[in-house]
Structure formats: structure tokens, C-alpha cells
Amino acid sequence: MEKRLHFSLFEKSVFIKSAIIICFLSFISAKAFSQAFVHTDQQDYAPGSTVYITGSGFTANETVTLQVLHVGDGDDEISAAHQPWTITADAGGNINATWLVPADEDEVGATLQLTATGQTSGLVAQTTFTDANSKLSVTDITGSYGGTVNVTATLTQSGGSGNGNPVPGRLITFKFNGTTIGTATTNTSGLASLTGVYLTSDGTSGGSRITAGPHNNFISGIYAGDASFSSSSGTGNLTVSQLGITWSVTTSDKVYDGSTTATIATRSLTGVLSGDVVNVTGGTAAFADKSVANNKTVTVTGPASLSGANSANYTLTNASATTTANITVRPLTITATGVNKV
């Protein structure tokens, strides 16, 4: 009887321990599958600018502690800008905050880490951003389909007493949609230029032509940085306009019929680039007058339209076309009927 009682107590002990372990594992599992996020509105900021912070995944209405620290050495212990502060998450567990990059401390060229810690949930989210002391501005470009353009960017100092000053003698790498098209060195004005760049996928005459239309953030410039200035990059928009081409026609001669109507025999285009498929259709032809003559002016007016695989890259520059054709005399057949007489 005592032995059975002892065994029952052992079973209860095992049960209680198992329950505790299961609860602990459930808690750990819940923590593992809960995740918070924090983001900044940019990857890089100039000294004195504002960092806009957003986050999600925290417990509803909990207090969240935020802190920005240097990655590596910095003035974190003595700078008020690097001390923690708290905000409150909304009912959905989202946070919004701002942080001012110090304009006159040691942030220039630094990498900074933002940490957000939920005081109730214990969830931690982190992200990094930089405070560059250089700024690269890429110029927006407009060019014609199949043509060439000049690609430029300006490198300047960002922040400090030299804010806005040009940074000469630095190598800038240019890209079209992620593909390198060349490099150039900044001059005394901080300007780097690539001239005669083809509007193609790789900037060369052998690349695929960039289609007509807007291409936002298509151009990028990259400065790798050095001992004096941090790395920086920028983007620019590319707008490719349609290439203007002309159309011409030939018309058929006709026999005089009392009208000015003419018949189009052929249509052709001038200015279409090699390898492109473009056709023209439409148009109404008319002689200047109905009289018989050789080499009479024929005017063909629209509407004329373009078709073909590459037609969207072109536009007609002439609304009408002229040619010449003949109106020949109309043969007359004379018939007579004899009349008997007495």
C-alpha cells in the first residue's frame, strides 16, 4: 500500500514537471515565431537631417524603447542624441518616431544602428543606416530613341563647414538600369561626365535600344568613397522621346475620268533604324486638278498610322506627302450609223 502511494507521488511529480516543460517550450516557441520590424525612410542621411522611423509587430499599446548607436567607435556615451527614449505602440503594434542626425558631432561618415525594444513583449528589432559626408546628384536626361546622350553627376560635400563644396578628383561609376556604362572622374566643379553614351542597355552601339518613354531612376551613379569622404550614390530619370521619321508614297497614273482621285501604289518610310520593323498605312491621294497632263502633283494626306513591332518608338514628322503621276487622255470611240436615202 505504501509502495503504491510512493509510485503515485512519483507519477504526479513527473506530470507536473512535464507540464512545466511544455509551458516553457510553448512560451519559447511563441517568442520565436513573434517578430518585430523597424525601418528608416532612407539608407543614408546628411548631417542635420531627420530620420523618419516606422516599425511593426510589437504588442498593442506597449512601451517601446528606441536608441541609435554607432557601429564601431563613437560618442555614444557623451552625446545626448544617442541616449534611449521611449514611445508607445498603437493598437496594432505599430510605431512611428523621428531622430535628428547631429550636425556637428562625429556622425559624418559613420554607420549607425537603430534598436527598438518592446518593454512588455521583449521583442527586439534593429536596422542600420549611414551618415555620409558626400552627396552624389545624378542629372536627369532626355534623349531621342536610338541616339546618344551625355551622362553627368555632381559630387559635393555634405554637412560641416564645407557643405555643398565640390569634391574633385573622384571616380564615379555610371550605370543604366544596373548595367555599368562607364566611369568618369569629377573635375574642379565636382562634375563627372560621360559623353556620347548610346541609349542602349549597356551604353554602346551594340546594346539593345532603350524604348521610347519615361524610365524613372534608370540612371545611377556610385562613388565608392575614400579616406576623406564616405561613399554615396544617386539616381536620375531617363526620358526617351520618339524618333521622327517621314513617309512618302508613289501613285499610279490614270486615264482621265473627270475627277482628281488618285490611287496610292506604294508607301515607304525614311529614318527607320536598322533592324526595326515599322510600317505605314492609310492616307488619301488626290491630283491637283482633273486635267490631262504628265507629272501632275499628287498630294497624299492623312490620317496615316504606324504599325509593326517597333512602331511605338517612332513618330511621323510629315502630315502629308507629295508625288507626281500622269493623267492621260481618255480614248474616244466614234461610231456612225448609215442612213439610207431615196
Question: Which residues are CB-contacts of 108 (< 8 A; sequence separation ≥ 6)?
Answer: 47, 131, 132, 133, 158, 159, 160, 230
> How confident is the model over 83-105, as a mean pLDDT?
92
Q: How far apart are the first and last CA of the chain?
A: 166
Q: Read off the C-alpha cell for 204.
A: 554602346
Rounded CA gap, 47 and 106, in Å? 10
- The per-residue pLDDT for 18 is 57
**φ and ψ at residue 306, rounded to 5 degrees:** -100, 145
* Residue pair 284/260 in contact by the 8 Å Cβ criterion: no
Strand partners, 66: 85, 116
Question: Which CATH number does 134-241 carry?
Answer: 2.60.40
Average pLDDT of the chain is: 89
Percent of the chain with pLDDT over 90: 71
Given a cut of 50, whether residue 7 has pLDDT beyond it is no
pLDDT in tens, 189-199: 999 999 999 99
Higher-confidence residue of 243 and 17: namely 243
* Range(s) of the chain covered by CATH 2.60.40.1930: 37-131
Helix and strand counts by DSSP (H, E) for the chain: 1, 23
Distance of alpha carbon 163 from alpha carbon 109, whole angstroms: 14
State the pLDDT at residue 29.
Answer: 42
Higher pLDDT, 144 or 342: 144
Pair 28, 54: CB distance under 8 Å: no
Distance CA 305, CA 135 (A): 47
User: Which cell goes with 17?
Assistant: 514537471
Task: Write down the pLDDT at residue 123.
Answer: 96
Min mean pLDDT across 19-28, 101-110, 159-168, 186-195 is at 19-28
The correct answer on CATH 1.10.10.10 for the domain covering 37-131 is no
Per residue in 317-339, pLDDT (tens digit) is: 999 999 999 999 999 888 888 78
pTM for the model stands at 0.64
